[in-house]
Amino acid sequence: MYRDGEASPHACTRRTLIHTSLGLGAGATLAVVGLPGCSVERSGDGGPQRVQKSDVPVGGGALAGWYVVTQPTAGTFHAYYAACPHAGVKVNRIEGQEIICDSHGARFSTDNGAVLKGPTKKSLTPAPFTTDGDVLVISMPKETE
């Protein structure tokens, strides 16, 4: 109330408050639903990926599309599907002997794909590969949980 029982010219009526609250709530809900979150954006047909052995450093690894290729010791190669088991987003870098997913901080071993740091409890999914001279030909794993 303003003076003598009059409402202030800036007062909010109950009806205005309810309508504004409902509008803001609906807008916030639509904004959250529209967020991409941790969606998986895969490109390509999932066909074989060819990687030169010389592109994979000893004691580390390299990203190749939706695959991670590692060489923990000279001449020993491993391949993994690059989807983080926590939310399916692509792991994005390799530092030393760790494969890192910056989305939620998960870290995996370049030696065997095992979890070094969560939030996930699952290892990276191994990807089958063959060798064609100096090239590794990596295939889509049968199951990518």
- CA 36 and chain centroid, separation: 12
| Percent of the chain residues topping a pLDDT of 70 | 68
pLDDT the model gives residue 88: 84
18: helix, strand or coil: helix
pLDDT the model gives residue 32: 42
Report residue 37's pLDDT band, with 50, 70 and 90 as the boundaries: very low
124 contacts 144 by C-beta, under 8 angstroms: no
User: Is CATH 2.102.10.10 the classification given to domain 52-135?
Assistant: yes
Whether the pLDDT of residue 66 is over 80: the answer is yes
Report residue 8's pLDDT band, with 50, 70 and 90 as the boundaries: low
- The mean pLDDT of 39-63, rounded to a whole number, is 77
- The mean pLDDT of 94-113, rounded to a whole number, is 93
108 contacts 95 by C-beta, under 8 angstroms: no
Q: Which has the higher per-residue pLDDT, 82 or 34? A: 82
Report residue 41's pLDDT band, with 50, 70 and 90 as the boundaries: very low
